[in-house]
Amino acid sequence: MGLDVNSIRKDFPILEKKIYGKQLVYLDNAATTQKPSCVVEKICEGYYSCNANIHRGVHFLSQHATEAHEAARENVRAFINAPSNKEIIFTRGTTEAINLVASSFGDSQCEEGDEIIVSQMEHHSNIVPWQLLRSRKGIVLKVIPFDENGELQLEKLDSLITNRTKLISVTHVSNTLATINPVKEIIKKAHEHNIPVLVDGAQSIPHLKVDVQDLDADFFVFSGHKVYGPTGIGVLYGKEKWLELIPPYQGGGEMIQKVTFEKTTFNELPFKFEAGTPDYIGSTALSTALDYVTALGMDNIAQHESELLEYAREQMAKIEGMRFIGNVSHRGGLVSFLVGDIHPYDMGSILDKLGIAVRTGHHCAEPVMQAFGIEGTVRASFALYNTKEEIDILVAGIERARKMFHH
């Protein structure tokens, strides 16, 4: 059964908004998704009627908030099919989760000369934490390149792996090229060499059904705000054996067992990695968002978005001077493009005046831009509430911009 998009759109009041007197066409979902009313209401309900700091209180509200936070953890576990709640760490988002691994795993498991492998299509959040580790520990950062279509050149992975390789960290879906990477295959290959793999799921979690056990990922990270949840909350899944092995990331709050000035012992998983008051309102609202997409069906969402994508590419390809950046067949719900010599910023500004929200620039993936010798792209990214009519409006907007520049 497909999605009833007209009825779904009613769940997202912001989609009714007029921008410069025009109906909003929101196509910046890869940056962040809009929130259904149930998520916004959950946040309000949290502050209006359930707010109390969790874990340490004996009083009713504290216990209630603690139960909600831990129920959210269980819901996240089920959503990605992790084996245990102990393996679900709440973070501020994807970026913090990768920084956690780069610090805790990197500092404790890497020596000078050890190697971390990333891909050429990573978001800066999966590059810079490893460069910081390189400054601290003298590790070597190696890169799996992609070809002219935006496909990872996996045959090169064999020659990149050595006995100094400590971790491979790759994105599941590229936020600029839309490539869906064969992470299961990468993980299988890495495990043949006993190398753990971190998967950046920021762009896959809203679009694909994720099963961390099926992938056999050692770490899987994502942000709540990209999957219809609130900002400021995200998830690090890590296999228990790794999370037990590596030290805490930050100190304070819930992550301790006993503190004296001489010595501190750490709490058990998952609390060992959750220093300070967690975002327990955010976690419960994220849980509501996950319920929302689960009820619609991840397979239905994927199907809807891939139909939108195919339609968009078909219609956009008719525009004179259209150049797609990223041409793989197995791709997620976004399209990066340039038209003639029109600067992405100019295209974005004209579309904005027509009420169409797209993103322009390097999309925090400058190495991708460098590979194509461009400064940036225009990116339209789709969500479960987008329609073919909105794509028609986008295409008409692009055509209008093209005519303004190339009359």
Per CB under 6 A, 200 contacts ligand PLP: yes
Tokens standing for residue 47: 């502050």
Task: Output 223 or 267, the one with its CB closest to ligand PLP.
Answer: 223
Per CB under 6 A, which of residues 263..322 are in contact with ligand PLP? Answer: none
Nearer to ligand PLP, 181 or 315 (CB): 181
The whole-angstrom separation of Cα 161 and Cα 212 is 23
Q: Which of 187, 229, 184 has the alpha carbon at shortest distance from 90?
A: 229
> Per CB under 6 A, does 91 bind ligand PLP?
no
110 is catalytic: no
Q: Of residues 38, 44, 110, 364, which has the active-site annotation?
A: 364
Q: How many CB atoms are closer than 10 A to CB 94?
A: 26
The enclosing H or E element of 395 equals helix 388-405
Closer residue to ligand PLP in complex, CB, 95/267: 95
- How far is CA 9 from each of CA 221, 280, 319, rounded to the nearest angstrom? 28, 27, 29
Cα angle for residues 391, 395, 398 (degrees, 5° grid): 135
- Please tell me the distance from the alpha carbon of residue 193 to that of residue 218, in angstroms, as a whole number: 14
Question: Judged by CB under 6 A, does residue 333 bind ligand PLP?
Answer: no
Measured between alpha carbons, how far is 320 from 373 in angstroms, rounded to an integer? Answer: 21
Say whether the peptide bond before residue 13 is cis (omega within 30 degrees of 0): no
Select the span of 50-58, 197-205, 351-359, 367-375 touching ligand PLP (CB under 6 A).
197-205
The residue within the footprint of ligand PLP, chosen from 99, 104, 169, 223 (CB under 6 A), is 223
Stretch that binds ligand PLP, among 89-97, 335-343, 351-359, 368-376 (CB under 6 A): 89-97
In 145-291, DSSP assigns E strands to 165-171, 197-200, 219-223, 234-238, 256-259, 264-266
Instruction: Give the burial string for 301-322 (b: 16+ CB within 10 Å, else e).
Output: bbebbeebbebbbebbeebeeb
Contact pick of 25, 69, 80, 93 for ligand PLP (by CB under 6 A): 93
**121 to 150, contacts with ligand PLP by CB under 6 A?**
123, 125-126
Q: Does residue 203 belong to the site contacting ligand PLP (CB under 6 A)?
A: yes
Please identify, using beta-carbon distances, which residue of 171 and 287 lies nearer to ligand PLP: 171
Shortest gap between Cβ of 336 and ligand PLP (angstroms)? 12
Smallest distance, Å, CB 229 to ligand PLP?
A: 11
Residues near ligand PLP (CB under 6 A), total = 12
Please report whether residue 204 would count as binding ligand PLP according to CB under 6 A.
no
Contacts of 133 (CB under 8 A, 6+ apart): 102, 103, 106, 107, 110, 116, 139
Instruction: State the minimum distance, in angstroms, from the CB of residue 94 to ligand PLP.
Output: 4
Q: Mind telling me the catalytic residues?
A: 364
Residues that bind ligand PLP (CB under 6 A): 93-95, 123, 125-126, 171, 175, 200, 202-203, 223
